[in-house]
Amino acid sequence: MKFILKAAIPTLLLLTFGTGVFADEATDKAAIRGVLTSYEKALNAADTAAIVDLYTVDGVQMAPDFPAAVGSKAVAAAYEGTFKAIDLKLTFSIDEVKLLGPDAALLRSHSNGTVKVNGSDQPAAPAAFKELFLLARENGEQWKFTHYSFSAAPASGQ
C-alpha cells in the first residue's frame, strides 16, 4: 500500500499543478490576445488615448526610419503624427504568444489591410506588416506593451 501511495503522489502532483499552470497560461494568453484586439480597434479608429493606455508608462514604440518613442508622451506624439499622415485599416493575426515569465510575454503578429495617405487623392493602398510586442503584467493584473516594433512585410504578411 505504501508503495502504491508513493508512486501515485508524484502523478497526482503533476496532474494538479500541471492543470493549474495550463489554466493560468491559457488565461494569460487570452488576455494578451485581448490587448492586441484592443490595439487593432484603437489603431483603426485613430484613437491615440486608447493606444497609449495599452502601453506601460515607460513603453517604447519603434517604427521603421524613426527614432524610438520612449514614454507615454513620446508614444502619444508618434501616434498623433502617424494619424495626421495616414489612415490605417488593418487586421492583425497572431503568429505566436510566448510567456517569458509570470509577468512578461512576447507577442508576434502580422497584419494586412490598407493605408491611405491623408490629404491625397490616391485611393487606399494594400499594406502588410509584421509586428513584435513585448508585454508586462502591471500590478499583477493587466497586460500592457513595454516595447513594440514593426516593419513592412511581404504580401503574405508573415
pLDDT tens, the chain, 158 aa long: 454 445 444 443 444 344 444 459 999 999 999 999 999 999 999 999 999 999 999 999 999 999 999 999 999 999 999 999 999 999 999 999 999 999 999 999 999 999 999 999 999 999 999 999 999 999 888 999 999 999 998 765 45
Strands (E), 7-103: 55-62, 69-70, 86-101
So what's the pLDDT on residue 60? 98
So what's the pLDDT on residue 19? 41
Name the burial class of residue 7, with classes exposed (0-12), middle (13-18) and buried (19+) by CB atoms within 10 angstroms of its CB.
exposed
Whole-angstrom Cα distance, residue 151 to residue 129?
Answer: 6
Which residue type sits at 102?
A: P
So what's the pLDDT on residue 27? 96
Q: Hey, is 125 helix, strand or coil?
A: strand
So what's the pLDDT on residue 8? 47
Looking at residue 118, what DSSP letter applies?
T
Q: What is the pTM of this model?
A: 0.84
